Each structure stands twice: as C-alpha cells, then as structure tokens.
Amino acid sequence: MNEARGSESAAQVDWTPPAAFWEKAEPGDAVRLQRPGWPPYDGYVDEITPDGDIVWVLSIGERRLFHKADGYSLVVLP
C-alpha cells in the first residue's frame, strides 16, 4: 500500500501546471506550441474556440488539437 502512495507522490512532483502564456491567435496565424519536456510544434491555426482555450493547428499534413489546460504555451509567430 505504501508503494502506491509513493507512486502518487512521484507523479505529483512531475506534474506541470498549465502554461501561463497563451497568446490570442486567429485562424491563419502561424503559431508555436510548447509543452515542458516536449519539442515545439509549429503550424497554422485552423480553428479556435471563442474563449481561446482550444486551438486546432495544421502542420505538414496533420491537424492537431491543443488545449491550454494541458500545459501548452502558445506564441503567435511573426
């Protein structure tokens, strides 16, 4: 039973809070999304929710959904 608690504690230590920096983006904007410990993901905004917390990004033949609450930062590229 103590092993399970030890695992929970380790998981809590590794947990990263949501990203604080999430720029307002619009469809067509070139963006970079970054999550701690992962390589950046560059693409173009396809769609975004009205509150701006969820964005669909197109990049080299794929469309991915990103959510601010998952710890991604979003920067609009020049």
How many angstroms separate the CA atoms of 25 and 11, rounded? 32
- pLDDT recorded at residue 20: 56
- pLDDT recorded at residue 37: 87
- Regarding the domain delimited by 18-76, which CATH topology (the fold level of the hierarchy) does it fall under? SH3 type barrels. (2.30.30)
Q: Higher pLDDT residue, 70 or 64?
A: 64
Q: Is the pLDDT of residue 67 over 50?
A: yes
Global confidence as pTM: 0.72
Closest-CA residue to 58 (of 46, 69, 48, 66): 46
Domain ranges of the chain: 18-76
Beta bridge partners of 67: 54
Q: Higher pLDDT residue, 72 or 15?
A: 72
5-44 pLDDT tens trace: 554 444 444 544 555 588 889 999 999 999 888 899 999 9
